[in-house]
Amino acid sequence: MRLLTRISDVQRALDKEREAGRRVGFVPTMGFLHEGHASLMRRARAENDVVAVSIFVNPLQFAANEDLEAYPRDLDSDLSLCESEGVDIVFHPNVGEMYPEPNPFTVTVGEVGSKLCGRTRPGHFDGVATVVAKLFNIAGPCRAYFGRKDAQQLVIIERLARALNFPVSARRSGGFDRDRREGCSADRKPDGIADILRAAREARLRGGRRRRDVGGPRPARPAGSSRGRGVGRQGTTDRQHDGDPGGAPSEGSS
C-alpha cells in the first residue's frame, strides 16, 4: 500500500493504472475510520482493480462554532484498516496541499445546502462540495463510494457531479459506471455511534479520543489472504510512504 501526500503523485499513480486498463475505485474520507468506511472499501475492492482512499479533515466544512482541532484523528489505525481491506493507495494531504491559497476558491451549492442540516451549519455543504470537487478532479475517472446515511450530502454530491460534468455517473442506488459514484449502505459501529461528528463531540467530553474498540476488535483477515497490491506474496503487508521524507504534515495546520 502506498501512502501519498501530494496531488501530483496521486494523479500520476491513478493515471498510470487507467492507462494499463485497470478500473479505479475511490473512497473519500475524513479519517477516524470505522466499519462503515471498511464496508465501502470492501465494495470498492470487489468492483475495481485498484482502490484509493483519501484521508483529509476538510477545514472548509466546519462552522465557526465547531472545533476543527478537536476532530478525532488516528492515522496509524486508519492506515492499518486500509491495509487490511486491500487498499492500494492512500492519499493523505495536509491543508496547504489542498488549499494553497489563503482564501481558496469555493463551490456554492445554493438553496439545497441551506435546508435541513444546513440550517444549523451555514456554509457546511459549500465546504463539502468544494473538497469533493477537488477530490474528483484529483482522482480522475473512477468509481467513488459514499454511504447513504448522509442523504442530503449524497444529493448535493450527485448534483455537483452532474452540474460540473465530472467523469462520474451519479446514481443514487446504482453507481458510478466507468466512473461511478456508489450510494452504499455503510455498516456502522455496533454501539450505534454512526456519525463521526458525534464521535468528535464525545472525544471532547471525555477529554480524549474515543476508544476505537467500543464495538469490539475489527475482524482479522484470513492468514495468507492478499486481495490488494499492497499485500506481499507471502501474506505480509508492505506499507510504502511516498511524499515528504518526514511524512505528511498534520492536516490541522495550514
Give catalytic residues, as residue numbers: 37
CA dist 161 → 38, 67, 151, 207, 238 (Å):
24, 29, 15, 39, 35
CA distance 50 to 55: 17
- SS3 of 103-135: CCCCCCCHHHHHCCHHHHCCCHHHHHHHHHHHH
- Measured distance between the N- and C-terminal CA atoms of the chain, rounded to whole angstroms: 26
3-state DSSP call for residue 95? helix
Relative orientation angle of helices 35-47 and 75-84, to the nearest 10 degrees: 40
CA distance 57 to 30: 5
